[in-house]
């Protein structure tokens, strides 16, 4: 008696894998150029910092006692991640870039607005005389204007939209500024014996608390404005 032929058992399909490079459009040459130019600008700014030591930036915390330089480092990270996305089409890099961009673009907007407003009123409030002569205007623009312009262009034209609802968004900016002033800067002041921004030494605790609250509100307002601008651009 002939043996029965065993029926072929269909193999289960292989589990689907999600590519971290899939579904991203081809590299945009304008995006490549933006990130390249931004990185050159940031490199020039950091070279200026490194090549000009002074009493303030040689203290504990170095150049990163200043919110401007912390923001400059995060802006540089955005452009590095952007260049990585341009080259590899990595979705993970894109997701991280969008989140850093969400945080740092409003902070750079705050820095640009507050710095130039105080600069035109009385530059001695924000630039300690122990730091030496004022830097040239074009280098000052590299620190206090170009980062925001680069980030704004990147946000509007070369990045997926990533925003938080209003209340969590405010909590992010308030938390970031609180960590800077209430934790990091306090450590620096305790070690160095000075605050890097002269204006902070002249304010009472209550007035300084109000100042940082206004800064958090301005950063949050900038984020909401950018969200509306992106919505208008997207139609």
Q: Is 107 exposed, middle or buried (0-12, 13-18, 19+ CB in 10 A)?
A: buried
* 19: pLDDT strictly greater than 50: no
Does 20 reside within a domain? no
What pLDDT, on a 0 to 100 scale, did the predictor assign at position 210? 96
Residue 160 lies in a domain: yes
109 in a domain, yes or no? yes
* pLDDT of the residue at 14: 47
Other beta carbons less than 10 A from residue 76's beta carbon: 20
Please state, in angstroms and rounded to a whole number, the distance separating the CA atoms of residues 213 and 30: 37
**Residue at 53 is within a domain:** yes
* Neighbour tally for 193: CB within 10 Å: 9
pLDDT bucket at 20, cuts 50 / 70 / 90: very low
Residue 41, class by beta-carbon neighbours within 10 Å (0-12 exposed, 13-18 middle, 19+ buried)? buried
Q: Quick one: tokens of 205? A: 């605790």
Q: What is the pTM of this model?
A: 0.87
Number of domains forming the structure of the chain: 1
pLDDT at 2 over 90: no
pLDDT tens-digit series, residues 134-185: 899 999 999 999 999 999 999 999 999 999 999 999 999 999 999 999 999 9
Domain membership of residue 5 (yes or no) is no
Specify whether the CB–CB gap between 20 and 53 falls below 8 A.
Answer: no
Residues in Cβ contact with 64 at an 8 Å cutoff, skipping those fewer than 6 apart: 70, 73
pLDDT of 211 over the 70 cut: yes
Q: Among 182, 13, 150, which Cα is nearest to 80's? A: 150
The verdict on residue 203 lying in a domain is yes
pLDDT at 146: 98
For 129-186, give the DSSP string: GGG-SPPPHHHHHHHHTHHHHHHHHHHHHSS------HHHHHHHHHHHHHIIIIIIHH
**Structural domain contains residue 23:** no
Q: Which helix (H) or strand (E) holds 43?
A: helix 29-51
In a domain? residue 24: no
* Residues in CB range of 108: below 8 A, 6 or more apart: 71, 75, 147, 148, 151
Burial class (CB in 10 A: 0-12, 13-18, 19+), 16: exposed
Binned at pLDDT 50, 70 and 90, residue 4 comes out as: low
The residue range of the domain holding 80 is: 29-234
Whether pLDDT at 18 is above 80? no
What is the dihedral sign for C-alpha 173, 20, 42, 32?
A: negative
Q: How far apart are CA 18 and CA 113, in angstroms?
A: 42
């Amino acid at each position: 008696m002939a043996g029965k032929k065993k029926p072929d058992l269909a193999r289960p399909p292989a589990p689907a894998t999600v590519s971290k490079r899939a579904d991203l459009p081809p590299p945009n040459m304008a995006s490549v150029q933006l990130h390249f130019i931004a990185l050159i600008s940031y490199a020039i700014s950091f070279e200026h910092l490194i090549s000009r030591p002074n009493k303030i930036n040689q203290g504990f915390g170095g150049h990163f006692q200043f919110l401007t330089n912390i923001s400059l480092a995060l802006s540089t990270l955005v452009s590095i991640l952007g260049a990585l996305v341009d080259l590899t089409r990595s979705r993970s890099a894109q997701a991280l870039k969008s989140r850093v961009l969400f945080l740092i673009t409003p902070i750079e907007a705050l820095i640009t607005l507050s710095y130039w407003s105080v600069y035109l009123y009385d530059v001695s409030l924000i630039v300690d005389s122990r730091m030496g002569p004022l830097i040239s205007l074009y280098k000052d623009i590299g620190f206090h204007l170009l980062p925001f312009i680069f980030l704004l262009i990147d946000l509007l034209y070369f990045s997926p939209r990533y925003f938080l609802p209003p209340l969590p968004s405010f909590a992010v900016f308030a938390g970031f500024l609180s960590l800077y002033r209430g934790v990091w800067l306090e450590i620096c002041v305790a070690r160095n014996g000075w605050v890097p921004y002269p204006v902070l030494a002249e304010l009472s605790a209550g007035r300084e608390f109000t100042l940082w609250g206004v800064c958090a509100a301005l950063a949050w307002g900038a984020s909401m404005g950018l969200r509306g601008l992106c919505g208008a651009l997207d139609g």
